[in-house]
Structure formats: structure tokens, C-alpha cells
Amino acid sequence: MARYDIEHSEYEGAGRRFAIVAARFNADIVDRLLEGALACLGEHGVASTDVDVVRVPGAFEIPLAAQRLAATGGYDAVVGLGTVIRGETPHFDYVCNECARGVAAVSLQHDLPVIFGVLTTDDHAQALARAGGAHGHKGREAALAALEMVTVLGRLASR
Ligand code: INI
């Protein structure tokens, strides 16, 4: 039996190329997510020259940018970062649902890890708490998910 159960310490970041698509909407939060994701990739051996960052207007636009990046064939993973905060309108649900659906579609269509690093919260405080506050750091978690997927898919490919 082969087990592909990879520890953090085994993540293989060196020599891998990543793209991050970060929404501008709620930039005060998304900038924190981006900062954490970049730091995490660096801590796992990813050179700063091997990371490209693309800004888009909002979370709704993340899938299209991710699709263009995936289509270049130049990346081992794409990370989508955004923050959608529930307001008084159903806009929240449309943005969240389309972003999640689009990210999943791009990932499967391009056979590439495309990570959903998008906070979906009721208010600003909840988002802040998940961007390096009391409830962890979704930006770092998204980078870790990308690193884990790159590593595990690399091992499956060499099987
Ligand atoms: N985009 C976000 O990333 N977060 C939000 O909270 C948000 N709200 O609340 O509306 C939001 N809307 C913009 C949307 O992502 C698109 O950029 C816009 O609809 C243009 O297509």
C-alpha cells in the first residue's frame, strides 16, 4: 500500500511557480491575506521570482484571471484570494457562489491546483479575525493548500 499523506515539512516549494490572484475589494483584508500567502510560500522555499501576483476588481473576477494564468502552462498552482462580506443584499451569495464554482471549474478543466482562499463572512470583524487574527490566517492556509497539492500531485505523477 502506498500512502500519500504529506507533512508540512515535506512540502516541495523550491523551483515551483505560483500565481496569486488577489481581489481589490476589501483590500485592507485581502492585502493581509496576500502578505501571509507570500510569506508562507517563501518559508517553504519558493523564490520570490517564482511568484506572480495579479490584482482583479473583486472575488467575482478571480476565476477568469485564474483561467488565463492556468492556460499559460507556466504555473504549478494558482491561489485565489478575496474577501466577501455579507451585506443587506443577495449580492453576497452571487459573488461567493460564482467565485467558488469558477475556481473549481478552472482547477478541473486545467488539471491544476486552483486554491479557494476567499473569506466569506458576515462582517468585517470576522474577516479580520481570519486574516492573521484570533481565527488564524486564511492567506497562509491557502498557500499551504497550494504547496500540499503541488507536492502530492508531483508524487502521484512520478508513481
Ligand atoms: N467583491 C468582493 O470581492 N467582496 C465583496 O464583499 C463584494 N461585495 O460585497 O459586493 C464584491 N463585489 C464585487 C464583485 O466581486 C465584482 O467585482 C463586481 O460585481 C463586478 O463584476
Say how many CA atoms lie within 13 Å of 123 toward its Cβ.
1
The reported pLDDT for the residue numbered 87 is 81
Above pLDDT 70, what percent of the chain? 99
pLDDT of residue 153: 97
- Is the CA virtual torsion 122, 32, 133, 142 positive or negative? positive
Which of 13, 17, 148, 146 is CA-nearest to residue 73?
A: 17
pLDDT at position 88 is 64
Check: CB of residue 54 under 8 Å from CB of residue 127: no
Please, what are the domains in the chain? Answer: 17-157 (3.40.50.960)
Report the nearest atom of ligand 1 relative to the CA of 30: 3
Backbone angles phi, psi at 87, to 5 degrees: -110, -150
Q: Residue 16 carries which side chain, given as an amino acid letter?
A: R
Mean per-residue pLDDT of the chain: 96
Q: Does residue 17 carry a pLDDT above 80?
A: yes
Check whether 158 has a pLDDT greater than 90: no
Least confident of 12-26, 36-50, 78-92, 132-146: 78-92
DSSP strand pairing (77-85 vs 131-133):
unpaired
The distance from CA 146 to its chain's CA centroid, rounded to whole angstroms, is 7
CA of 62 to the centre of ligand 1 (A): 10
Task: Please choose from 84, 89, 99, 101 the residue to mutate so as to test ligand 1's pocket, defined by most ligand atoms within 8 A of CB.
Answer: 84
Average pLDDT over residues 111-138: 97
Quick: pLDDT tens for 55-112: 999 999 999 999 999 999 999 999 999 999 998 678 899 999 999 999 999 999 999 9
- Any atom of ligand 1 within 6 Å of the Cβ of 84: yes
Q: What is the pLDDT of residue 132?
A: 97
Q: Is 12 a pocket residue for ligand 1 (Cβ < 6 Å)?
A: no
CA distance 64 to 66: 5
**pLDDT at 130 > cutoff 80:** yes
